Amino acid sequence: MIDLSAFSLEGRTVMVTGANTGIGQGIALAIARAGGRVIGVSRSAMDETERLVDVIGGAFVPVRADLADATVAQSTFDTCWNSSGPIDGLVNNAGIIRRADAVDVARADWDDVMNVNLKSMFFLCQSLARRALAEQRGAKIVNIASVLSFQGGVRVAAYTASKSAVLGITRLMTNEWAARGINVNAIVPGYIDTNNTAALRADPDRSEAILGRIPAGRWGQPSDIGDTAVFMLSRASDYMHGASVAVDGGWLAR
């Protein structure tokens, strides 16, 4: 018999970055449904996410912060820990993308993407690990990677580099922290129905080409990623370390 309590987040507090919309919002809602309290971090307002969590009777704490600055990211984490109590889980979902041919990528755009997608992600993980290790607490970290962690892509050099690095850092942290009670894993989303893919879905030719490669025959939903995150944050994944789980409708299998 399956122990369903192993998938519960009751009594746990989880920080989710980029919780204002899309995948981050889907993750926040899934955590709330599983009984967890969500600390949502975003530079944008999270009113809709807060409302949706409230509708299902969950707890949501919105925190505005610009994760383009790793120093701000770390100070935000410490403030949340000190004011809201220990943080049991961290989902590094916040990310940006800048499109240009590789020969035209501007240094400022490269730095902007790396600062959010990689630098602040790393230092948020470090902040959680420092506090958890100091208090001899377990913790769960879920980093959001991409199918471009495995593929090159086109016109997204900085994004591809950052998401490839997310998997490398996830494995490194696993090697250093697994024996000390901290699980670090990654989710690899495919093409998800969010604002970021609105232009692709609106282009009949591009949408048809994408769907033609996805064995499942549909775009993913934020809830698909959210439910996987709940598993990785729960007791059910206690022996799961350094894994990268593709939630892509089979995209990488083609």
**Residues labelled as active-site residues:** 159
Could you tell me if 187 and 170 are in contact, meaning their C-beta atoms sit under 8 angstroms apart? no
Any alpha helices (H) in 119-241, and if so which ranges?
A: 120-134, 157-177, 198-202, 204-213, 222-233
Give the span between the Cα atoms of 44 and 25, in whole angstroms.
12
Which residues sit opposite 22 in a β-bridge?
none
* The one-letter amino acid at 156: V
- The tokens for 58 are 């969950």
- The tokens for 99 are 């499109």
* The one-letter amino acid at 36: G
Give the span between the Cα atoms of 42 and 35, in whole angstroms.
22
Buried b (16+ CB within 10 A) or exposed e, 184-214: bbbbbbbbbbbeebeeeeeeeeebeebeeeb
Give the span between the Cα atoms of 207 and 151, in whole angstroms.
19
